[in-house]
Amino acid sequence: MSLFSRLAGLSAFTMLFAFATPASANLVVNGGFENPDVASGTWKSFDSSDVAGWDGSRIEIWDNYNGETAHEGSQFAELNSDPYTGSAFSIYQDIETVIGETYDVSFAYQARQSERESFEFALIPDGSVASTWLLDDHTTSGWSIFSGSFIASAINTRLMFTSVTPETGTIGNFLDDVKVIVSVPEPGTLALLGLGLMGMGLSRRR
Ligand SMILES: [Ca+2]
Ligand SMILES: [Ca+2]
Protein backbone atom coordinates (compact mmCIF):
# COMPACT_ATOMS: atom_id res chain seq x y z
CA MET A 1 0.00 0.00 0.00
CA SER A 2 1.45 3.37 -1.01
CA LEU A 3 1.76 6.22 1.43
CA PHE A 4 -0.83 8.07 -0.66
CA SER A 5 -3.50 5.39 -0.31
CA ARG A 6 -2.77 5.01 3.39
CA LEU A 7 -3.38 8.72 3.88
CA ALA A 8 -6.54 8.50 1.79
CA GLY A 9 -7.79 5.60 3.95
CA LEU A 10 -7.01 7.47 7.15
CA SER A 11 -8.82 10.55 5.87
CA ALA A 12 -11.93 8.53 5.05
CA PHE A 13 -11.91 6.89 8.47
CA THR A 14 -11.51 10.22 10.22
CA MET A 15 -14.41 11.74 8.33
CA LEU A 16 -16.74 8.81 8.98
CA PHE A 17 -15.84 8.90 12.66
CA ALA A 18 -16.39 12.65 12.84
CA PHE A 19 -19.82 12.37 11.25
CA ALA A 20 -20.88 9.32 13.22
CA THR A 21 -19.95 10.53 16.72
CA PRO A 22 -22.38 13.41 17.34
CA ALA A 23 -25.42 11.26 16.59
CA SER A 24 -24.78 8.91 19.50
CA ALA A 25 -22.62 10.85 21.99
CA ASN A 26 -24.21 11.36 25.40
CA LEU A 27 -23.92 15.05 26.36
CA VAL A 28 -24.48 14.20 30.04
CA VAL A 29 -21.24 13.67 31.98
CA ASN A 30 -21.35 10.64 34.29
CA GLY A 31 -25.00 10.02 33.38
CA GLY A 32 -24.82 6.53 34.90
CA PHE A 33 -23.34 7.69 38.23
CA GLU A 34 -20.42 5.26 37.89
CA ASN A 35 -17.98 7.94 39.16
CA PRO A 36 -16.78 8.08 41.91
CA ASP A 37 -16.49 4.35 42.45
CA VAL A 38 -18.26 2.99 45.51
CA ALA A 39 -17.48 -0.52 46.78
CA SER A 40 -19.95 -3.15 45.63
CA GLY A 41 -22.73 -3.77 48.16
CA THR A 42 -22.37 -0.34 49.77
CA TRP A 43 -23.48 3.27 49.36
CA LYS A 44 -21.86 6.61 50.10
CA SER A 45 -22.98 10.22 50.32
CA PHE A 46 -20.97 12.83 48.42
CA ASP A 47 -20.65 16.57 48.13
CA SER A 48 -21.38 17.62 44.58
CA SER A 49 -17.72 18.56 44.00
CA ASP A 50 -16.81 14.87 44.31
CA VAL A 51 -19.32 13.61 41.74
CA ALA A 52 -18.18 14.12 38.14
CA GLY A 53 -20.60 16.24 36.12
CA TRP A 54 -23.31 16.64 38.76
CA ASP A 55 -24.21 19.29 41.30
CA GLY A 56 -26.75 19.12 44.07
CA SER A 57 -27.23 18.42 47.73
CA ARG A 58 -25.93 15.29 49.43
CA ILE A 59 -25.77 13.04 46.38
CA GLU A 60 -25.91 9.39 47.40
CA ILE A 61 -24.36 6.78 45.13
CA TRP A 62 -25.28 3.14 45.62
CA ASP A 63 -23.52 0.10 44.19
CA ASN A 64 -25.95 -2.82 44.11
CA TYR A 65 -26.80 -2.18 47.76
CA ASN A 66 -29.70 -3.54 49.82
CA GLY A 67 -30.98 -5.76 46.98
CA GLU A 68 -31.24 -2.83 44.57
CA THR A 69 -29.38 -3.32 41.28
CA ALA A 70 -28.36 -0.63 38.84
CA HIS A 71 -30.15 -0.14 35.54
CA GLU A 72 -26.84 0.62 33.84
CA GLY A 73 -23.37 -0.41 35.03
CA SER A 74 -23.21 -1.18 38.75
CA GLN A 75 -24.01 2.17 40.35
CA PHE A 76 -26.93 4.60 40.52
CA ALA A 77 -27.87 7.73 42.46
CA GLU A 78 -30.42 8.29 45.15
CA LEU A 79 -32.28 11.57 44.96
CA ASN A 80 -32.72 12.16 48.68
CA SER A 81 -35.96 13.10 50.33
CA ASP A 82 -35.84 13.49 54.10
CA PRO A 83 -39.16 12.61 55.68
CA TYR A 84 -40.88 15.21 57.86
CA THR A 85 -38.13 17.84 57.59
CA GLY A 86 -39.62 19.71 54.63
CA SER A 87 -36.22 19.61 52.92
CA ALA A 88 -36.27 19.02 49.18
CA PHE A 89 -33.08 17.83 47.52
CA SER A 90 -31.95 18.40 43.95
CA ILE A 91 -29.43 16.79 41.61
CA TYR A 92 -28.66 18.76 38.47
CA GLN A 93 -26.25 19.19 35.55
CA ASP A 94 -25.80 21.94 32.95
CA ILE A 95 -25.12 20.82 29.39
CA GLU A 96 -24.11 22.88 26.39
CA THR A 97 -26.89 23.08 23.82
CA VAL A 98 -27.35 24.72 20.42
CA ILE A 99 -30.36 27.01 20.09
CA GLY A 100 -32.95 25.46 17.76
CA GLU A 101 -31.39 21.98 17.90
CA THR A 102 -33.61 19.05 18.91
CA TYR A 103 -32.38 16.72 21.67
CA ASP A 104 -33.61 13.39 22.98
CA VAL A 105 -33.53 13.04 26.77
CA SER A 106 -34.01 9.85 28.78
CA PHE A 107 -33.29 8.40 32.19
CA ALA A 108 -34.16 5.42 34.38
CA TYR A 109 -35.94 5.93 37.72
CA GLN A 110 -37.35 3.87 40.55
CA ALA A 111 -39.08 4.65 43.83
CA ARG A 112 -37.11 3.56 46.86
CA GLN A 113 -39.76 2.52 49.33
CA SER A 114 -43.34 3.43 48.59
CA GLU A 115 -45.56 4.37 45.69
CA ARG A 116 -46.11 7.79 47.27
CA GLU A 117 -42.56 8.75 46.39
CA SER A 118 -42.26 11.22 43.58
CA PHE A 119 -39.94 13.78 42.10
CA GLU A 120 -39.91 16.49 39.50
CA PHE A 121 -37.76 16.58 36.38
CA ALA A 122 -37.14 20.05 34.96
CA LEU A 123 -35.48 21.44 31.83
CA ILE A 124 -34.04 24.86 32.60
CA PRO A 125 -32.58 26.77 29.63
CA ASP A 126 -30.35 29.64 30.79
CA GLY A 127 -31.80 29.81 34.30
CA SER A 128 -35.54 29.91 33.62
CA VAL A 129 -37.66 26.78 33.95
CA ALA A 130 -39.12 25.77 30.57
CA SER A 131 -40.71 22.38 31.23
CA THR A 132 -41.35 20.18 34.25
CA TRP A 133 -42.63 16.66 34.61
CA LEU A 134 -43.93 15.16 37.87
CA LEU A 135 -42.89 11.50 38.06
CA ASP A 136 -45.26 9.96 40.59
CA ASP A 137 -46.44 6.97 38.56
CA HIS A 138 -43.71 4.56 39.48
CA THR A 139 -43.29 1.58 41.74
CA THR A 140 -40.51 0.07 43.81
CA SER A 141 -40.41 -3.20 41.88
CA GLY A 142 -38.19 -2.14 39.00
CA TRP A 143 -36.78 0.61 36.85
CA SER A 144 -38.98 2.75 34.62
CA ILE A 145 -37.73 4.77 31.68
CA PHE A 146 -38.57 8.40 31.01
CA SER A 147 -37.95 9.60 27.47
CA GLY A 148 -38.77 12.74 25.55
CA SER A 149 -37.41 15.41 23.27
CA PHE A 150 -36.83 19.13 23.52
CA ILE A 151 -35.71 21.98 21.30
CA ALA A 152 -32.97 24.03 22.96
CA SER A 153 -33.69 27.73 23.51
CA ALA A 154 -30.33 28.63 25.11
CA ILE A 155 -26.65 27.77 24.84
CA ASN A 156 -26.87 25.84 28.08
CA THR A 157 -29.69 23.74 29.49
CA ARG A 158 -29.92 22.48 33.05
CA LEU A 159 -31.38 19.04 33.73
CA MET A 160 -32.68 19.02 37.31
CA PHE A 161 -34.24 16.33 39.47
CA THR A 162 -35.94 17.51 42.67
CA SER A 163 -37.70 15.55 45.40
CA VAL A 164 -41.10 17.14 45.84
CA THR A 165 -42.93 15.72 48.84
CA PRO A 166 -40.53 15.31 51.75
CA GLU A 167 -43.24 16.31 54.24
CA THR A 168 -45.32 13.22 53.50
CA GLY A 169 -42.77 10.71 54.62
CA THR A 170 -41.01 9.71 51.42
CA ILE A 171 -37.35 8.78 51.61
CA GLY A 172 -35.97 8.88 48.08
CA ASN A 173 -35.95 7.95 44.43
CA PHE A 174 -33.27 6.20 42.40
CA LEU A 175 -31.85 7.61 39.15
CA ASP A 176 -29.57 6.05 36.53
CA ASP A 177 -28.53 6.21 32.87
CA VAL A 178 -29.32 9.90 32.25
CA LYS A 179 -28.85 10.66 28.57
CA VAL A 180 -29.16 13.65 26.27
CA ILE A 181 -28.25 13.13 22.63
CA VAL A 182 -28.67 15.23 19.52
CA SER A 183 -31.85 13.96 17.89
CA VAL A 184 -31.03 12.53 14.46
CA PRO A 185 -33.80 10.80 12.50
CA GLU A 186 -32.85 7.75 10.45
CA PRO A 187 -32.87 9.46 7.01
CA GLY A 188 -30.50 12.10 8.43
CA THR A 189 -28.11 9.41 9.61
CA LEU A 190 -27.99 7.91 6.11
CA ALA A 191 -27.39 11.34 4.61
CA LEU A 192 -24.42 11.91 6.94
CA LEU A 193 -22.96 8.53 6.01
CA GLY A 194 -23.37 9.54 2.35
CA LEU A 195 -21.38 12.69 3.04
CA GLY A 196 -18.63 10.58 4.61
CA LEU A 197 -18.48 8.36 1.54
CA MET A 198 -18.38 11.43 -0.71
CA GLY A 199 -15.43 12.68 1.34
CA MET A 200 -13.63 9.36 0.79
CA GLY A 201 -14.12 9.63 -2.97
CA LEU A 202 -12.79 13.18 -3.03
CA SER A 203 -9.66 12.34 -1.05
CA ARG A 204 -8.81 9.49 -3.44
CA ARG A 205 -9.02 11.75 -6.47
CA ARG A 206 -6.54 14.27 -5.07
CA1 LIG B 1 -25.16 3.37 36.45
CA1 LIG C 1 -18.56 0.44 42.38
The answer to whether residue 2 sits within a structural domain is no
* Percent composition of the chain: helix, strand, coil (DSSP 3-state, to 5): 25, 35, 40
Neighbours of ion ligand 2 (CB under 5 A): 37-38, 63
The torsion angles phi and psi of 92, rounded to 5 degrees, stand at: -145, 160
pLDDT band at 50 (very low <50, low <70, confident <90, very high): very high
| Domain contains 129 | yes
Ligand nearest to the CA of 68: 1
Within-domain flag for 148: yes
* Total structural domains within the chain: 1
In this prediction, residue 103 carries a pLDDT of 96
CA 72 / ligand 1 centre spacing (Å): 4
pLDDT tens per residue, range 95-115: 999 999 999 999 999 988 876
Centroid of ligand 2 to alpha carbon of 159 (angstroms): 24
For every residue of 83-148, which 3-state class applies, written as one string? CCCCCECEEEEEEECCCCCEEEEEEEEEECCCCCCCEEEEEEECCCCCEEEEECCCCCCCCEEEEE
Q: What is the mean pLDDT of residues 160-189?
A: 80
Query: CATH code at 75?
Result: 2.60.120.260
Asked if residue 173 is part of any domain, the answer here is yes
How much distance in Å is there from the Cα of 62 to the middle of ligand 2?
8
Span from the CA of 75 to the centroid of ligand 1 (angstroms)? 4
Is the residue at 203 inside a domain?
no
Residue 7's pLDDT band (boundaries 50, 70, 90)? very low
